[in-house]
Chain A
């Protein structure tokens, strides 16, 4: 109940950060954990439904000569398959469904966030961090599963003189350990910064007098276009980096 009051307190503010507030639509609890159905959950489920129905409906005809929807579905498939093949080679295709899910999920969440008044799930550090942590843990597990303790050689680059090792190995180790942080913060900060910026400029349109309103409106329109690019680019980058990390684990060379 204290939380409900807290949420109500948040909802009253209309600062640039109000758009990121989590609102509990259906309070739920499971084994003492709060698993309320929030606006964030709503958009996750929406993304899930949209992606599934689109991909399944688009492929319902299974035409040899694709129609419009089917060719969109196929080009998304080929796009991600291209990233996987380029970074991991043919054998990497066994991780393709996983990589594809990451890409399409983040892309859809980013794009849904671009709808005015909607909620951007990926603008929350906990969500992006969970995704990045999943990638990092999966990659590390695959690395150890495939190479055993030999996977630790990843931190000892070839061709480095041995007296540099005390310097290089900690750097490599830290850069490996920092991966989930940089991966998650990149996505989160991009989405949050972009949406905050849009909101700040949009609020200028309200506060400025008459004609001057045009400038923030024009800027917001232009910046919205850039944000669409960023929304796609960040999903792409997340996917490419996932593939690069996977490649480290699978092939063990830089």
Chain B
């Protein structure tokens, strides 16, 4: 671009000088706006071209790339820092989530273990109780059986004793020697042994 601009400015100076000559021919000096004083055009155009091209070169080659670099670098840095912060935040959140999960797992575990312990204890107690109860029930049944047997035996003896008693009573009272068989028949007939 600078080369093109230089050519351009050279052409412009040419035109400017032509115009200047035209003005000179027309306006024989004296008064007039300084801006329209044509002989001054050429030096202004020349120095404008020189300074502008030089300034453009310095700006585009030295000054602006530096500023742009610094700004770009800062933008990158901020972007990077932001990204890092974002990543750290995500990691923290993940850690927090895993911690909470571990906590709730532990809690669930604890309650499961407690329940299991309770259940197993309960079962054991139940078993023991059942065993004891069974034993007791068996003993009770044995005892009841023994009692029944004794009762039956006693009742049977009662009949004998009653018969003997009746024979002796009858013999004593009425001098009748009733036999044991007769007494038993009489008792049976009266339904007393019921």
Q: Which 3 A-B pairs have the closest CB atoms?
A: A97-B60, A41-B47, A55-B63
Pair A77/B68 contact, Cβ less than 8 Å: yes
For the complex, give the distance between the alpha carbons of A207 and B74 in Å: 58
Given contacts A62-B66, A64-B73, A78-B71, contact A126 B59 (CB under 8 A): no
Interface size range of chain B in the complex? 35 or more
Say how far A249's CB is from chain B's closest CB, in angstroms. 15
Pair A101/B56 contact, Cβ less than 8 Å: yes
Say how far A65's CB is from chain B's closest CB, in angstroms. 8
For the complex, give the distance between the alpha carbons of A56 and B41 in Å: 32
Interface size range of chain A in the complex? 35 or more
B191 at the interface (CB under 8 A from A): no
Say how far A226's CB is from chain B's closest CB, in angstroms. 22
Q: Does more than half of chain A's interface fall in helix, strand or loop, or is it mixed?
A: helix
Which stretch in A29-37, A197-205, A213-221, A231-239 binds the other chain? A29-37
Pair A34/B59 contact, Cβ less than 8 Å: no
Identify 5 residue pairs between A and B in the complex whose beta-carbon atoms are under 8 Å apart, listed by A's number.
A3-B39, A18-B34, A33-B17, A56-B62, A134-B9
Q: A22-B40, A100-B64, A131-B52 are in contact. List 13 more A-B contacts (CB 8 A).
A: A24-B43, A33-B13, A34-B42, A35-B43, A48-B51, A51-B55, A52-B62, A55-B59, A59-B67, A64-B74, A104-B55, A124-B44, A133-B12
- C-beta contact mask, A25-56 vs B, less than 8 Å → 1, else 0? 00010100111111011001101100110011
A residues 1-18 with Cβ under 8 Å of B?
2-3, 6, 9-10, 17-18
